[in-house]
């Protein structure tokens, strides 16, 4: 039996809230949002380095590598030796992933080197405002002067934490809100057969997002070197 329109609207509203909080539905962000949802619903978080004690009626979960989540619900009438039910789903989606060596310049434009992840309709990525979201691993900041202060915490979902002062590698989530790149399509006079033969994108040649002109990149580098404002 289907629920009332009011209950359906409530479920859809919660779904959209979760999707918006995840950002681009990157799998790391999805696990983070699901963890917060389970905690708010009364689930208990387990750790791999601690003993587990589960009893009938318990609800718990475990995360691994910031990208996998296991949720456990023990039935109230469960007895050792009984069977169990397993549900599985994925938290990732097709996307363009930034390569480790992503600096790319071509025809006077600064681009991002990317690779395709999953089976996406890649032509739909053209002529859209694109941004960055995902996980970065950052290392220690170079030694600072004695008068300098170091932040005591690293805040997730911000880009101001690209360096850590603890001397250890750190995991951070990044979600840039504003668009910073675009994959433009060609004008019709540069591809006369697009309407008759369609467009078959070559990921290496056609899907590298443009960030800015090479001149603007040089200006930014100069201002960063002078510790001035950054465009």
pLDDT at 128: 93
Instruction: Annotate 129-160 with b (16+ C-beta within 10 A) or e (fewer).
Output: ebebbbbeebeeeeeeeeeeeeeeebeebeee
Spell out the domains of the chain, with CATH numbers in brackets: 5-73 (no CATH), 94-131+178-231 (2.30.250.10), 133-175 (no CATH)
CA distances from 141 to 83, 147, 162, 176 (A): 51, 15, 9, 22
Alpha helices for 23-121 (secondary structure H): 27-40
Question: Which of the residue ranges 31-40, 57-66, 170-179 would you say has the lowest mean pLDDT?
Answer: 170-179
Checking if the pLDDT of 155 tops 50, the result is: no
Residue 206 CA from chain centroid, whole number: 22
Q: What are phi and psi of 81, to 5 degrees?
A: 100, -15
- Residues whose CB is less than 8 angstroms from the CB of residue 209 and which lie 6 or more positions away in sequence, other chains included: 96, 111, 112, 114, 130, 181, 182, 183
Q: How many residues are present in the chain?
A: 231
Q: Residues 196-206: pLDDT tens digits?
A: 888 888 888 89
- Give dist(CA 64, CA 133) in Å, integer: 20
The residues facing 98 across adjacent strands are 114
Checking if the pLDDT of 56 tops 80, the result is: yes
Quick one: pLDDT band at residue 223, thresholds 50, 70, 90?
Answer: low
Token reading at 139: 């290392």
């Amino acid at each position: 039996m289907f629920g009332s329109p009011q209950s359906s609207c409530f479920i859809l509203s919660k779904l959209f809230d979760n999707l918006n909080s995840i950002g681009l539905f990157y799998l790391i962000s999805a696990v983070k949002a699901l963890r917060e949802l389970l905690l708010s619903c009364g689930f208990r978080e387990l750790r791999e380095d601690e003993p587990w004690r589960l009893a009938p009626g318990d609800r718990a979960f475990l995360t691994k590598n910031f990208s996998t989540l296991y949720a456990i619900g023990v039935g109230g009438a469960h007895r050792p030796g009984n069977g169990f039910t397993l549900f599985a789903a994925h938290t990732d989606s097709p996307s363009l992933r930034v390569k480790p060596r992503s600096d790319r310049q071509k025809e006077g434009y600064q681009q991002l080197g990317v690779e395709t992840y999953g089976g996406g309709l890649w032509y739909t990525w053209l002529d859209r405002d694109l941004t960055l979201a995902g996980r970065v691993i950052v290392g220690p900041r170079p030694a600072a002067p004695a008068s300098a202060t170091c932040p005591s915490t690293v805040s997730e979902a911000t880009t101001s934490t690209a360096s850590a002062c603890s001397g250890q590698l750190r995991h951070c989530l990044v979600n840039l809100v504003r668009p910073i790149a675009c994959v433009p399509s060609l004008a019709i006079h540069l591809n006369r057969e697009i309407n008759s033969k369609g467009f078959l994108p070559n990921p290496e040649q056609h899907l590298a997002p443009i960030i800015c002109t090479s001149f603007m990149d040089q200006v930014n580098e100069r201002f960063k070197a002078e510790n001035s404002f950054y465009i």
